[in-house]
Structure 1
Amino acid sequence: MTDYRTLIDAETWAFIEKTNSYYPPDTIDYTVPQQRTIYDRMCREFFAGYPQGVTAETTAIATPANSIPIRIYRNAAPDNAAMVLYIHGGGFILGGLDSHDDVCAELCARTGYEVVSVDYRLAPEHLHPTAFDDAMDAFEWATRTYDCPVVLCGDSAGGNLCAAVAHATRGHAKKPTGQMLIYPGLGGDHSRGSYVTHAEAPMLTVRDLDFYKHIRTGGVDRTGDITLYPLADGDFANLPPTVLITAECDPLSSDGEAYRDRVVAAGGYAAWFEEPGLVHGYLRGRHMVGRARTSFARIVEAVSALGRGDWIW
């Protein structure tokens, strides 16, 4: 069994304990509406506000089948080199425009890029591939609306959706200029690596992952579906430059390494960073955990570079 007392520092333990006080580990055993209530409360407790000079507008993307709520973040001193399409985490059943509001505002402030957060439809009311379809529609809208490169950025479930969009659009006339994947779940092998070493990690367990997969798919076996499991793709050529950042104490960490290796083997650009001693969801701890603060700075640097078309790794 992994001894997390030797891997996780005091600041990170304080973050874990604060998170658990609002979102207990057994929350997964509650109903989905109850989970959402608990999650939303936890998000409010960690909300850090907007940096000076950042404004936000909540609107929607009209599609033939749906209206997708979005929130657009703008900087008082904009850098129009690129825009960021942000897709939030939450196990495909939680979250929305408010759950990652301050993260998007800070990303906007520190890169200068406009950031658009996407409120895709959630399971179980909307099973796969609904969230993927919404992410695709949002990306296509962004390429029509912005006369600049589009950087995909997402955490956890959002990282999964970003990668799925990148795979689906690589043959398009307009495709992502880069993707920043933050502790994404990409459909890796559960019998090896971090899935075994960190199966019972604080903040996220393999049992949690199985629950989210079952909810998202309605229990249907979708083995080989690359819109659900990007690592199932047999072709990793011509993908956009990709930066993956994972947490050491997270069952999903090996997905970052596996994805990096396949992109590089196919002749592409990919870099993977495993943040030592951090846990899934650490973005919320970026103001109270030194390691998380450093990692967020790395994320900002990567998004900025991808937007400029620079490969600095």
Structure 2
Amino acid sequence: MTDYASLIDAETWAFIRRTDSFYPPDTVDMTVADQRRVYDTMCREFHRGYPPGVTAQDGPMGGVPCRTYSLPGAMPATVVYLHGGGFVVGGLHSHDDVCAEIAAATGFRVVSVDYRLAPEHRHPAHFDDALAATRAAIAAWPGPFLLCGDSAGGNLAAAVAHALRNAGGPQPLGQVLIYPGLGGDRSRGSYVEHAEAPMLTLRDIAFYGKVRFAEGDDPTGDITAQPLHDTRFNGLPPTVIITAQCDPLASDGPAYAAAIAAAGGRAACHEETGLVHGYLRARATVGRARASFARITGALSALGAGRWPAL
């Protein structure tokens, strides 16, 4: 059994306890409406406001509700951000301050995408919205752009990168994926070692997967749902993947990076020691999370400037 008492430091345990304080023990068995209520309350409590100079405006992109974060003056690149939440919870509110801080740290425009959620909208609705909003952002602001997302959003960012490669046309300068779930083998690696990790368990992952797909649907081989199931990884943008050590999804990052590198592409994966799934919300209170967020924004800045390595 993994010794989380020694792997996770006191600051991170304090973050875990604060997060857990919003959730009853049986959250995964609650209705989706109740899960969203709990998640939204937790997000509001962690919200840090906007850095000076950052403003936001809501408006549809490609028919998808979006929020665009801007700074005064020229913005040399656009980041399309796709939020986490297991394709079930989250929206423009859940990662509002995260996106504002990315804009402030990079000087880039950030477009946060409010894609449709399950179970009201099953796969591929989330992917369709992510791709439509990305294409609309490219049309609205021709020029350099990047893809970024955490957890489920990291899955969508990668799926969009594969779709854009296959379609031709404008390509992202890079993508930054934060503790993404990319369709890895659940019978091995971190899925086994960290099946009972704080913040996200293998049971949680199974629940979200069941809700995401219609009954009887098999995502095997569907790269719009599981980017690791693609049969070719050439032509993808320079990719930075940031994983959390204490996370069932941790193995997907190095597997994806290795596939891109084996195809001759540029990819780097960095595992954050002792961190847990969802640690973006700990970036103000946990030293390790603060350093990781700086790594994330630094990677976006480097990729947006065409620099490699980006870590």
State the number of aligned residues: 308
Root mean square deviation, CA, Å: 1.0
Q: State the identity %.
A: 63
1:101 and 2:93 aligned: no
Question: Which consecutive unaligned segments of at least 5 residues does structure 2 have?
Answer: none
Counterpart Cα distance in 2 of 1:274 and 1:77: 35
3-state secondary structure, aligned to 2:116: coil
Secondary structure at 1:234's aligned position in 2? coil
Equivalent position SS for 1:53: coil
What is the CA–CA distance in structure 2 between the aligned matches of 1:56 and 1:173, rounded to whole Å? 28
Shift of 1:77: 4.7
Residue-by-residue CA offset, 1:22-51 (whole Å, 9 max, x unaligned)? 134531110000000000000000001100
In 2, the alpha carbon distance for the partners of 1:236 and 1:156 equals 20
Which of 166-175 and 115-124 deviates more? 166-175
Match of 1:286? 283
The CA distance in 2 between the partners of 1:179 and 1:24, in whole Å, is 35
Tell me if structure 2 keeps the 8 A contact 1:260–1:271. yes
Report the Cα distance in structure 2 between the residues aligned to 1:155 and 1:222, rounded to whole angstroms.
20
**Cα shift at 1:93:** 0.5
Which residue of structure 1 aligns with residue 34 of structure 2? 34
Query: Secondary structure of 2:26's match?
Result: helix
- What corresponds to 1:136 in structure 2? 131
1:144-193 deviation per Cα after TM superposition (whole angstroms, max 9, x unaligned): 11122110000000000000000111141112111000000000011111
| Alignment-derived partner of residue 12 in structure 1 | 12
Aligned counterpart, 1:190? 186
Partner SS state of residue 170, structure 1: helix
The yes-or-no answer on 1:205 pairing with 2:204 is no
Give the TM-score normalised by structure 2: 0.97
1:68 CA displacement: 1.0
Residue 252 (str. 1) matches residue 211 (str. 2): no
**Partner Cα separation in structure 1 for residue 239 and residue 58 of structure 2:** 28
Provide the C-alpha distance between the structure 2 equivalents of 1:158 and 1:23, rounded to a whole number of angstroms: 22
Q: How does 1:45-84 map to 2 (within 5 A)?
A: 45-61=45-61, 63=62, 67-78=63-74, 80-84=75-79
Q: Whole-Å Cα distance in 2 between the matches of residues 57 and 173 of structure 1?
A: 27
Q: Give the 3 Å change call, closer, same or farther, for CA 86–107 of structure 1 in structure 2.
A: same
**1:163 maps to what in 2?**
158
Question: 5+ unaligned residues in a row in structure 1: which ranges?
Answer: none
Which digits, 9 at most, give the CA deviation of each residue in 1:108-155, with x for residues without a partner?
001000100000000000000000000010111011111221100000
Looking at structure 2, the residues matched to 132 and 75 of structure 1 have their Cα atoms a distance apart, in angstroms, of 28
Q: TM-score, normalised by structure 1?
A: 0.97
The answer to whether the aligner puts 1:114 opposite 2:118 as a matched pair is no
Please say if 1:304 is aligned against 2:301: yes
Supply the AA of the counterpart residue of 2:289.
Answer: A
Q: In structure 1, the residue corresponding to 2:33 is in which secondary structure?
A: helix
Aligned equivalents of 1:269 and 1:223: distance in 2? 26
- What residue identity is the alignment partner of 1:155? D
Look up the SS of the partner of 2:248 in the other structure: coil
Q: Write the letter of the residue equivalent to 1:195.
A: Y
Q: In the aligned structure 2, how far is the partner of 1:159 from the partner of 1:2?
A: 26
Structure 1 residue 308: Cα displacement: 1.0
Matches of 1:76 and 1:24 in 2, distance apart? Answer: 43
Deviation >3 Å, runs of 4+: none
- Give the secondary structure class of the aligned counterpart of 1:73: strand
